[in-house]
Amino acid sequence: MLRSILDAFKVPELRKKILFTLAILALYRFGAYVPVPGIPFHEFATAFQDTGVAMTMLDLFTGGALSNFSVFSLGIMPYITASIIMQLMQGVIPAVGRWAREGDTGRRKITQVTRYLTLGLGLINAVGYLLLFKSPAYGVQFSTEVPEALTNIIIVFTLVAGTAFIMWMGELITQRGIGNGMSLIIFVSIVSRVPSAIFSSVNLTSDLGTGIALTLVILAVVLVCIPLIIFVERAQRRIPVNYAKRVQGRKMMGGQSTYIPLKVNAAGVIPIIFASCLIYFPAQLAAIFNVDWLTTFANWCSTGWLNWLLTVLLIVFFAYFYTSMVFNPEETADNIRKQGGFIPGVRPGTATVQYIKNVINRVTLPGGIFIAAIAVVPTIIFYFTNNQLIQAFGGTSILIMIGVALDTMSKIESQLKMYNYEGFFK
406 in a structural domain: no
Task: For residue range 11-50, list pLDDT tens digits in order.
Answer: 778 888 888 999 999 999 898 888 888 777 666 766 666 6
Model confidence at 316: pLDDT above 60: yes
Are 125 and 159 in contact by the 8 Å Cβ rule? The answer is yes
Q: How far is CA 220 from the centre of its chain?
A: 25
Q: What is the pLDDT of residue 24?
A: 92
Of 30, 102, 107, 112, nearest to 72 (Cα)? 30
Domain with 254 in it: what CATH number? 1.10.3370.10
Same domain membership, residue 252 and residue 171: no
Number of domains the chain is built from: 2
Are 216 and 241 in contact by the 8 Å Cβ rule? The answer is no
Question: Which of 138, 163, 192 is the C-terminal boundary of a domain?
Answer: 192
Q: Tell me which amino acid residue 138 is.
A: Y
Q: What is the pLDDT of residue 337?
A: 80
The bridge status of strand 246-248 relative to strand 341-342 is unpaired
425 in a structural domain: no
Same domain membership, residue 188 and residue 217: no
Q: Interior CA angle at 399 toward 213 and 175, to 5°? A: 130
What stretch of H or E contains 117?
A: helix 104-134
Q: How far apart are CA 424 and CA 67, in angstroms?
A: 37
Q: How confident is the model at residue 136 (pLDDT cuts 50, 70, 90)?
A: low
Regarding predicted confidence, which is higher, 248 or 414? Answer: 414
DSSP assignment of 245-309 equals -EEETTEEE---EEEEEEETTTTTTHHHHHHHHHHTHHHHHHHHH--HHHHHHHHHHHSSHHHHH
Burial classification of residue 305, based on how many CB atoms lie within 10 Å of its CB (0-12 exposed, 13-18 middle, 19 or more buried): exposed
Same domain membership, residue 217 and residue 114: no
Are 354 and 239 in contact by the 8 Å Cβ rule? The answer is no
Q: What dihedral do alpha carbons 135, 141, 146, 151 form, nearest 10°?
A: -40
User: Which pTM does this prediction carry?
Assistant: 0.75
Same domain membership, residue 246 and residue 107: no
Question: Which of 155, 176, 192 is the C-terminal boundary of a domain?
Answer: 192
Q: Look up the domain containing 284 and give its range.
A: 194-393
Q: How far apart are the first and last CA of the chain?
A: 10
Q: What is the pLDDT of residue 50?
A: 60
Same domain membership, residue 361 and residue 223: yes
Same domain membership, residue 117 and residue 11: yes
Model confidence at 260: pLDDT above 80: yes
317 in a structural domain: yes
Question: What count of other Cβ atoms lies within 10 Å of the Cβ of residue 248?
Answer: 8
402 in a structural domain: no
Same domain membership, residue 183 and residue 281: no
Same domain membership, residue 248 and residue 160: no
Q: How far apart are CA 178 and CA 174, in angstroms?
A: 7
Q: What is the pLDDT of residue 142?
A: 64
Average pLDDT over residues 120-131: 84
Q: Interior CA angle at 159 toward 157 and 163, to 5°? A: 115
Q: How far is CA 136 from the centre of its chain?
A: 34
Mean pLDDT of the chain: 78
Task: For residue range 174-227, list pLDDT tens digits in order.
Answer: 888 888 888 888 888 888 877 777 777 777 666 667 778 777 877 787 777 788
Same domain membership, residue 295 and residue 181: no
Are 343 and 371 in contact by the 8 Å Cβ rule? The answer is no
Q: What is the pLDDT of residue 51?
A: 58
Q: How far apart are CA 339 and CA 351, in angstroms?
A: 17
Q: How confident is the model at residue 164 (pLDDT cuts 50, 70, 90)?
A: very high
Question: Which of 169, 192, 215 is the C-terminal boundary of a domain?
Answer: 192
293 in a structural domain: yes
Q: How far apart are CA 192 and CA 392, in angstroms?
A: 9
Model confidence at 425: pLDDT above 60: no
326 in a structural domain: yes
Q: How far apart are CA 32 and CA 230, in angstroms?
A: 30
The number of C-alpha atoms within 13 Å of 195 and in the hemisphere containing its C-beta is: 5
Same domain membership, residue 125 and residue 89: yes
10 in a structural domain: yes
Same domain membership, residue 332 and residue 314: yes
Report the SS3 class of residue 425: coil
Q: How far apart are CA 126 and CA 149, in angstroms?
A: 15
Q: How confident is the model at residue 290 (pLDDT cuts 50, 70, 90)?
A: low
363 in a structural domain: yes
Of 171, 176, 178, 174, nearest to 413 (Cα)? 178
Same domain membership, residue 186 and residue 245: no
